[in-house]
A and B are shown apart, each in its own frame.
Chain A
Amino acid sequence: MPLLLGSYSPDLMTKWFVYGISIGGWHLKATDPEQFQRGWPGMGFTHSLLYGVLWAFIFWRVLGSKTWAVSFLIGQWAHAITDTGDTVGTMLFFPWTIHIHFGAWAYAGQTGRLTDAAAYFSGPGAVWDLVWIVLGIFSWRVLTRSYFEQNVFTADAFWSKANRVVPMTALLVAYRAAFFYGTCRWIAWSLWAHVVHHYPYDISWGGPHWVHAVHSPPLTWPQLVGVGAIIATGVAVFFASRLEFSRKRWAAIRSRT
């Protein structure tokens, strides 16, 4: 559950205002959707690594759950890193406001919900989603009842609390819903875009090129060096903490023997 929440969290905060919604005759929509969703000033910080860390800290310290903290962090980071694949990218290292972007598929959020969907499901983004669907099918065991009962239900107290009012079968359906939704929406949008409306496929890098895509400027050499330094520091801290952890474990084993 926290993994799913984490993976949806950046867009939960932003997508409604990017595409616009109507409430009681009022139409609310961002005047600059790309700036609002990915930029600063704006809500672009929801697509940063720091945003995930802050929420993970809240889950850990307020709810007292390391499982929720780590799972939410993985989900949110997966979303933030995946969105670096488009032509706008994300402010991954916020408060540093440069956009990390690989430009593999077109960012077309500003064109509206339908054109954005048609573009996404016509370009490399659709291929990227398909990779995960195929991986999910090959990992079908994680969707079985026994896997859910033995590994998921026992790992997260949310499920046992929910089980007080909702039967196990319904919880299992809810657990499977994310994969069901991801797979079905991929098929449905692909049919809508290519069978009903005949939008052309263009899975070349940066495609589809028939849509007006927003692009972030390429990173300068000093910015690239800065990004490299941040990643190198992160990797060094990770390995140093592992080394320290194994040293402490060895010391504990030695003292016991």
Chain B
Amino acid sequence: MPSKRQLAVAAGYAVAGAVYIAIGVWFTDFLLSFFVALAYLLLAVWLIPTGVRRLF
């Protein structure tokens, strides 16, 4: 079974995924490219959390 930390990481990706899906359903061009998804994911689960951690 995954550890609590692994589940927390998975939850972060799930939230990022939910936002990505919501954008994609209304603006389907967002779903067309792997590279767009990669850029979004880097922003959502790495750059933004890192920035927030540095601020607070």
A34 to chain B, nearest CB (A): 20
Task: Give the secondary structure class of A's interface.
Answer: helix
Which residues in chain A, 185-200, are within 8 Å of chain B measured between CB atoms?
185, 187-189, 191-192, 195-196
A2 to B30, CA, bound (A): 24
Which residues of chain B are within 8 angstroms of A55 by Cβ–Cβ distance? Answer: none
Can you list 27 pairs linking A and B with CB atoms under 8 Å apart?
A113-B32, A114-B28, A170-B42, A170-B46, A173-B41, A173-B42, A173-B46, A174-B42, A176-B41, A177-B34, A177-B38, A178-B34, A180-B16, A180-B41, A181-B34, A181-B38, A181-B41, A184-B17, A184-B37, A185-B24, A187-B17, A187-B21, A188-B20, A188-B28, A188-B31, A189-B31, A196-B25
Residues of B near any A CB (own CB < 8 A): 2, 6, 10, 13, 16-17, 20-21, 24-25, 28, 31-32, 34, 37-38, 41-42, 45-46, 50
A140-B2, A177-B34 given; A188·B24 CB < 8 A: yes
Q: Which of A113, A169, A180 contacts B37 (CB 8 A)?
A: A180
Q: How far is the CB of A43 from chain B (nearest CB, A)?
A: 19
In this assembly, does A8 line the interface, its C-beta being within 8 Å of a C-beta of chain B? Answer: yes
Residues of B within 8 A of A185 (CB): 24, 31, 37
Given A140-B2, A173-B46, A178-B34, A191:B25 Cβ within 8 A? yes
A183 at the interface (CB under 8 A from B): yes
> What is the bound-complex CA distance between A173 and B17, given in angstroms?
13
Residues of A within 8 A of B2 (CB): 140, 144
Spell out A's residues near B (CB within 8 Å): 8, 113-114, 117, 140, 144, 169-170, 173-174, 176-178, 180-181, 183-185, 187-189, 191-192, 195-196
Expressed in whole angstroms, the minimum distance between the Cβ of B18 and any Cβ of chain A is: 9
Q: Among the listed B10, B24, B28, B50, which residue makes an inter-chain contact with A184, where contact means beta carbons less than 8 Å apart?
A: B24
Q: Distance in Å from the Cβ of B20 to the closest Cβ of chain A?
A: 5
Residues of B within 8 A of A178 (CB): 34
List B contacts of A173 (CB < 8 A): 41-42, 45-46
Which B-chain residue is minimally distant from A169 (CB atoms)? B46
Expressed in whole angstroms, the Cα–Cα distance for A110 and B4 within the complex equals: 47
Q: CA separation between A113 and B31, bound complex, in Å? A: 11
- Complex Cα spacing A184 to B15, Å: 11
Which has the most chain A C-beta neighbours within 10 Å: B21, B42, B45?
Answer: B21
Separation in Å of the B36 CB from the closest CB of chain A? 9
A12 to chain B, nearest CB (A): 10
Given contacts A174-B41, A176-B41, A192-B24, 20 further A-B contacts (CB under 8 A): A113-B28, A170-B42, A173-B41, A173-B42, A177-B41, A181-B34, A181-B37, A181-B38, A181-B41, A183-B17, A184-B20, A184-B21, A184-B37, A185-B37, A187-B17, A188-B24, A188-B28, A192-B25, A195-B25, A196-B25
